[in-house]
Amino acid sequence: MGIDPPDAPVADVDDGDSIHVASIVRPYALTKGRTAPRVDLPVEATIEVVSAEKVGDDIGRSILDLCAAQNPSVAEIAAQLRQPLGVTRVLLADLVDVGAVSVRATLTDRATDRQRHDLIERTLRGLRAL
């Protein structure tokens, strides 16, 4: 994956047909230049707080506050922090590493057909009840 720290203006492509150029402050400064998380963090994975005492830095505490309020997904945390997904994943992986948060289960490549079946049935039940 060609993910690099940005060093130039970015083009923001949205669902409309507009493209505009915005400026952002080097996001990977927050991760000290690291771009690869050590924990598997799918965009839909939800995060819960395990121990809030293990985190001292501001960005880590911001994430913990978000997680304590609503068990958000990786994508929601990225959106709330206004950070790219890659940056958010590195920051979250750090919190997993120190035991501050845990990642709730999602469907993985290793899932059995039975697990897939159960998940889709639960999804259908929920959708039909909306």
Partner 1 sequence: MDSVRFDEAPRIASTKIIVAGGFGVGKTTLVGAVSEIVPLRTEALVTTESVGIDDMDSTPDKATTTVAMDFGRITLSNDLVLYLFGTPGQRRFWFMWDDLIRGAVDAIVIVDTGRLEDSFSVVDYFEAKKLPFIVAINEFDGGQRYTPDQIREALAISPGIPIMTIDARERESAKHALIRVAEFALEQLTATSRIESA
Q: Does residue 9 contact residue 22 with C-beta atoms inside 8 Å? A: yes
> How many residues form the binding site for partner 1 (CB under 8 A)?
64
84 is a site residue for partner 1 (CB under 8 A): yes
Tell me how many degrees the CA angle 51-61-53 measures, rounded to the nearest 5: 30
Q: Report 103-122 residues binding partner 1 (CB under 8 A).
A: 104-109, 111-117, 119-122
* Binding mask of the shown chain, residues 46 to 75, with x at each position contacting partner 1 by CB under 8 A: x---x----------------------x-x
Return the residue of 30, 31, 86, 92 that touches partner 1, per CB under 8 A. 86
Burial code (b: 16+ CB inside 10 Å, e: under 16) for 7-21 equals eeeeeeeeeeeeeee
Distances (CA, A) of 81 to 1, 27, 118: 22, 11, 33
9 is a site residue for partner 1 (CB under 8 A): yes
17 is a site residue for partner 1 (CB under 8 A): yes
Question: By the criterion CB under 8 A, which residues form the site for partner 1?
Answer: 1-17, 19, 21, 24, 27, 42-46, 50, 73, 75-76, 78-80, 84-87, 99, 102, 104-109, 111-117, 119-130
